[in-house]
Amino acid sequence: MKILIINGPNLSMLGIREPNIYGKMTLDEINNVIKNNFKNHDIDFFQSNEEGKIINKILEANSFYDGIVINPAAYSHYSIGILDAIKSIDIPVVEVHLSNIYKREEYRKKSITGEGAVGVISGFGYNSYILGVEALELFYDKR
């Protein structure tokens, strides 16, 4: 399976930014854990702080990947553009969050982008990504 992992704004600062919320692992360390757990899959990684670049990557992914695991970060709470991109493609998307968004500030408790995903995984730290890839596997096993 060919999978794209997309990370949104400020996730390049993992390990430094609010480690009490997001953990102490860097994004590179998380990506390495994902690679090591799923050696049987072809996994690519993309991170951007820019909404338009994330939208373009989602739309391009439709031709090259079997599925996407996305952590849209703050964009999940208000990006109709990313939601529309997710709804525009024919491959499954699983949204993940390091923290439990339902235990956060009121404005973080709603995921606009999650409405287009086949599922949302939240609150398991870096394991949210592991569970996200496993969810894509289950999605294809059910077919």
Sheet containing 67-71: give its strands across.
Answer: 42-47, 2-7, 67-71, 93-97, 119-122
Q: Residue 104 annotated as binding?
A: no
Q: DSSP string of 50-95? A: -HHHHHHHHHHHTTT-SEEEEE-GGGGGT-HHHHHHHHH-SS-EEE
Q: Are 95 and 70 in contact (CB under 8 A)?
A: yes
Q: Residue 71 annotated as binding?
A: yes
Tokens coding 93:
């998307």
- The Cα 135–Cα 137 span in angstroms is 5
Q: Residue 77 annotated as binding?
A: yes
Q: Residue 99 annotated as binding?
A: yes
Q: Residue 41 annotated as binding?
A: no
Residues designated as active site: 22, 97
Encoded amino acid at 89, one letter:
I
* Residues that constitute the known binding site: 71, 77, 84, 98-99, 108
Q: Binding site for substrate: residue ranges?
A: 71, 77, 84, 98-99, 108
